[in-house]
Each structure stands twice: as structure tokens, then as C-alpha cells.
Amino acid sequence: MRMRPTLTWEPTAGLLPASNDLTAVVEAVRAGQVVVLSGAGLSTESGIPDYRGENGSLRRHTPMTYQEFIGAEHARRRYWARSQLGWRAMTQARPNAGHRAVTALSDAGFVTGVITQNVDGLQQSAGAQNVIELHGSLSRVVCLTCGRGSTRAELDHRLREANPGFEAAAERYRAARVNPDGDVELPDEAVREFRVVACAACGDGVLKPDVVFFGENVPPARVADCRRLVDDAAALLVLGSSLTVMSGLRFVRQAAESGTPVLIVNQGPTRGDRWATQRIELPLGEALATLVAKVCP
């Protein structure tokens, strides 16, 4: 499955109006067998911006595409230099009330699985078990030549050794906001001398974060796992996603086509509203804390 490089989406007329009444969500969750599809909006209360919200990162930067990354050495150098600062900021983020609420619903048996579009690992840090990382994780790195996987912490150590003066020189940019894809904005002069390291196993392989860039394929086996979860669900609960990219939207369409209720809790309209049974517009932390209080003993 190719993740289309769709960066923006404009709402059209006739979409489902929003509500602030959680009754339908409470009833669906109480019935159980709910699958959660979460997006960047679930992590904003942890200090990680979403892509398309009021303060979304797309207002100030364009995410790296797969074609850019594999096609140009300077693009890879820019990505890893920016990621070297951004990744450390990502590791300092902590799960918020929304992540903890999803875990509580899972522990109580109401939620049977989570499909997260986020690459920050916060849902797992909150203790959730059956989580499918649709777009991968920033905590892992893969070699595009030999396929060896390694940890981002290991690469961090190697990049710091290869660029001993970089972080001191870039100190002025530490206040820059981290993007959902784990990097920060840096001017060309800050990355020009940055040294990218090759794979430690094969010696010359190109290293890539184990995430799905815009324009890249989501592994078919992962998609199949998600489809099975949705097939078995009594309801699909979408949390904090505009559903702009097809990789997440297709599961909403799959659920709707099979008659499975789709409930969306998001700040603002989504590309999946036309397939939704109910759309709730409330801050996620507040809404999910209320949900847990109503359904958990």
C-alpha cells in the first residue's frame, strides 16, 4: 500500500455536523470490541504538534518524502541533522491523559486493539498492549541496503561521535518546535557540515528511520493486520486524526462499508466524516477522561 503524499485536504459541503455529546461514544465503548485509530491529535497534549491543526506543523514546514530521502544525499543530511535535535526532544515527551485513557479502556477489555498513525511511541509508553504502529516508529532505524535494524539510541551515539561540535553550534535552535515526524527546522548553514554515518553492519548502507515517509509503501503485512482488527471490530473509534492520508482513511471506509459504526473525536472536520456515524468535537484529553469515568468500573 502506498502512502499518498497528500499533505492538505479541504472540507466540502454536506459533511456530518459536529457534536459535543459523547453519548454515542459511551454506548459504543460499553458494548466492547472497539478498535481505536489514533492520529497526531492524540499527542498534542504531550507537546508534539499535529500536522494540520490550528498550530499544525504543515503551516511552517513540508515533511520529508521517501523520494527525496532516497534520491539525494543532501536531503538525507538535512533530515538527520534536524532529527538529531528533534529526536531528543521527542524522547522527553510523556504520555498524556488521552494516551492513559486509551490504555485504561484497553485494560478494561472495551478496546481490543489500537492502530496508531503516530511514530512517537507514546501509546505504548502509556502501557497499551495490542498496538499496531501503522507508520512505524522513530525509535528504530533500518538499513536500506542490508535490512539490518538498530535502535535510534545507537544511531544517536554514532552521530554524536561523528559530529562532535554540531549540537553546540546548533544550540540557538534548541527552542525550535519539534515536528510530528521528529525533526526541527534548521537553516542550511546549520546542516551543511553535518556528517551522516553509514550502516555499521554492511559498511556503506543508507540508514533510514523505521517510519513510513510520505510517498512510501506501508508494509502489506501490517495493513493486513489492521484490516483483520477492523473486520473483527464492533465499532471503530477515531481519535485525533484528520484522516487526510489514505493509509488511515481506508480503515474508516472499510468499517463503514461493512456496516461497522465509525465514531470520530477530533478538533475540526476530517476527510472521513462522510463515513462517520457520529463526529465529536472536543479536546481529546477531556473527552477521553470523561469516557473512562463513564464506562470503567
Kindly report the three-state secondary structure assignment for every residue of 141-167.
Answer: EEECCCCCEEEHHHHHHHHHHHCCCHH
Tell me whether residue 200 is exposed, middle or buried, using C-beta atoms within 10 angstroms of its C-beta: 0 to 12, 13 to 18, 19 or more: middle
Q: pLDDT, tens digit, for every residue of 86-95?
A: 887 788 889 9
Q: How confident is the model at residue 234 (pLDDT cuts 50, 70, 90)?
A: very high
pLDDT of amino acid 61:
53
Active site residue 99: no
Q: How confident is the model at residue 8 (pLDDT cuts 50, 70, 90)?
A: low
∠ CA(251), CA(252), CA(255), 5° rounding?
Answer: 85
pLDDT of amino acid 57:
41
Q: pLDDT, tens digit, for every residue of 20-77?
A: 999 999 999 999 999 999 999 999 999 887 654 454 444 445 678 999 999 999 999 9
Q: Per-domain residue ranges for the chain?
A: 18-48+95-135+213-297, 58-92+141-211
pTM (two decimals):
0.87
**Active-site entry in 61, 99, 135, 157:** 135
Segment 237-251 shows an average pLDDT of: 94
Rounded CA gap, 247 and 218, in Å?
Answer: 8
Question: Does the pLDDT at position 3 exceed 50?
Answer: no
Continuous segment of H or E residues that includes residue 255: helix 246-257
Q: pLDDT, tens digit, for every residue of 177-211?
A: 566 666 677 777 778 889 999 999 999 999 999 99
Segment 210-238 shows an average pLDDT of: 96
Q: pLDDT, tens digit, for every residue of 257-276?
A: 999 999 999 998 999 999 99
Stronger pLDDT, 215 or 189, i.e. the higher one: 215
Rounded CA gap, 141 and 64, in Å?
Answer: 16
DSSP readout, 100-119? HHHHHHHHTTSEEEEEE--S
Number of H helices, E strands in the chain: 11, 9
pLDDT of amino acid 173:
63
Q: Is 96 helix (H, G, I), strand (E, B) or coil?
A: coil
Question: 18-48+95-135+213-297, what's its fold?
Answer: Rossmann fold (3.40.50)
What is the number of other CB atoms lying within 10 angstroms of the CB of residue 232? 12
Instruction: Give the lowest-confidence range in 52-61, 211-220, 238-247.
Output: 52-61
